Amino acid sequence: MTSQIIPVEPFDFIAFGGTGDLAERKLLPALYQRQRAGQFSEPTRIIGTSRAKMSHKEYREFARKAISDHVKAAEIDPEQLETFLARLHYVAADAKSGDGFDAIRKQVGESDRIRVFYMAVAPALFGDIAKHLKTNDLICQNCRIVVEKPIGRDLASARTLNDQIGSYFDEHQIFRIDHYLGKETVQNLMALRFANMLYEPLWNSAHIDHVQITVAETVGLEDRIGYYDRAGALRDMAQNHILQLLCLVAMEVPSTMDADAVRDEKLKVLRSLKRINGQEAPKMTVRGQYRAGASAGGAVKGYQEELGSQSSTETFVAIKAEIENWRWAGVPFYLRTGKRLATRVSEIVIEFKHIPHSIFGENAGRILANQLVIRLQPDEGVKQWIMIKDPGPGGMRLRNIALDMSFAQSFQERNPDAYERLVMDVVRGNQTLFMRRDEVEAAWKWIDPIQGAWAENLQEAQGYTAGTWGPSSAIALIERDGRTWHEST
């Protein structure tokens, strides 16, 4: 079974930071894949821009290399690639001074085509670029602006950024990307909850004991020294990806899949999160930083050695979050994310309550609570753990097995990268999978007091050996409550 490709209207895609890492690794490959899938209508153009002086031809060579480096060889069709390269253009422009924006204007020409401005640049430049777009008369009714995180480093700076962009673009034109929302299984979470009768009646504190959300990585700092050391795991992963996942698990059924209907429900969850204050932070949160160890099969340096300087930035965070509303009161959400952990896995575990009473004797074995494990990556799929009778004669013995739905086995199709879906949604003007201003700000309102409590309590990042599951206090965080982290393999 193949999914239906619905072509989008012709568009101009203007990538600021067009020669940068994001354009190279994600945007150009994603656009190529959508063209190959037959989703473009003509004439569609892609204009790369950055400060570097470069000809159109040189930019096409840059894109050719980006695609050959980041798209599987079997998916590179020479004819498709040439068609793709022919739609690329390049204009040098300086985001600070505004030099070159008139050339962008000329390149775009007069047209009422959909126009996407993609900000693959540091957030400090968003405001300047938006201003130059305005003064050069580039902003039109059919325009959208796409911004990447970090959207601020706290509530105040997020507001400033949102104000800057908001002075030139209307909210319905602003697409704040959280690439986790473009992942196939993340959207499947909505299908699982709202396209089945099975789970929703049980999806509350009467039947669910707790929820775990883990986003574990094996990579370390990579080449993002400047950014990461200023951000840390709480800002880099928890404020956005983890809270977005929490929202999708916890939100009420939206009235429709319309952007605002979904985002209104997510916002209510964010606003219901119990604030963690200075006194509570040491027992509700854990900060960690990796030390030298072994990861992904080899010896690796500790964070500070990689960084080349002393730092107290956390590379791991675990939080016991609570949602103060009727559905979730008393159901903890244990969240954890970190770099250089034992394995790369992102998953959500919904643990149901124990049965109230067992009719089986002691010989039947232990009856475990049902778990629903939603695996976001790798090996996307859903497992529903249930108790069954151990097959064979000889009395009633019980066993825990998983009803296993691995998506790779069920669907033969290529699993598109999150950016492919998100970029096409931008062109279509569909904001369902993008964060609204109030969502971003509500997330910071919950994160800021944690950051503040850490500073106030001088809560140090505890060392953990690379290749493990984080500091021992992260294990204690959940075990104190008589629960354990799901063992992800």
Active site includes 241?
yes
Q: Which of 241, 354, 357, 486 is catalytic?
A: 241
> Quick check: 236 binds ligand BG6 (CB under 6 A)?
yes
Neighbours of 264 (CB within 10 A): 17
> Of 153 and 179, which CB lies nearer to ligand BG6 in the complex structure?
179
> Of 179 and 263, which CB lies nearer to ligand BG6 in the complex structure?
179
Window 2 to 31, contacts with ligand BG6 (CB under 6 A): none
CB of 340 to ligand BG6, least distance (A): 11
114 - beta bridge partners? 11
Q: Pattern of binders to ligand BG6 over 334-373, x per CB under 6 A?
A: ------------x---------------------------
Window 423 to 482, contacts with ligand BG6 (CB under 6 A): none
Taking every pair of C-alpha atoms in the chain, what is the biggest distance, in angstroms? 83
> Of 19 and 346, which CB lies nearer to ligand BG6 in the complex structure?
346
β strands within 256-393, DSSP E: 285-291, 293-295, 298-300, 316-321, 333-338, 345-352, 371-377, 381-389
Distances (CA, A) of 86 to 61, 72, 110, 386: 11, 21, 20, 54
> Of 236 and 380, which CB lies nearer to ligand BG6 in the complex structure?
236
> Of 105 and 344, which CB lies nearer to ligand BG6 in the complex structure?
344
CB of 240 to ligand BG6, least distance (A): 7
CB of 143 to ligand BG6, least distance (A): 25
CB of 123 to ligand BG6, least distance (A): 13
199 in Cβ contact with 207 (< 8 Å):
no
d(CA 338, CA 287): 10
d(CA 392, CA 396): 9
165 in Cβ contact with 230 (< 8 Å):
no
Query: Tokens 């959508």 map to which residue?
Result: 34
Q: Under rule CB under 6 A, how many of the chain's residues touch ligand BG6?
A: 4
Q: From the list 24, 217, 314, 347, which residue makes contact with ligand BG6 (rule: CB under 6 A)? A: 217
Neighbours of 466 (CB within 10 A): 24
**Residue 18 DSSP class:** T
Using Cβ positions, the residue closest to ligand BG6 within the complex turns out to be 236
d(CA 235, CA 314): 10
CB of 150 to ligand BG6, least distance (A): 8
**Measuring CA to CA, which residue among 309, 305, 313, 286 is closest to residue 230?**
313
Instruction: Please give the positions annotated as active site.
Output: 241
- Using CB under 6 A, list all residues that contact ligand BG6: 179, 217, 236, 346
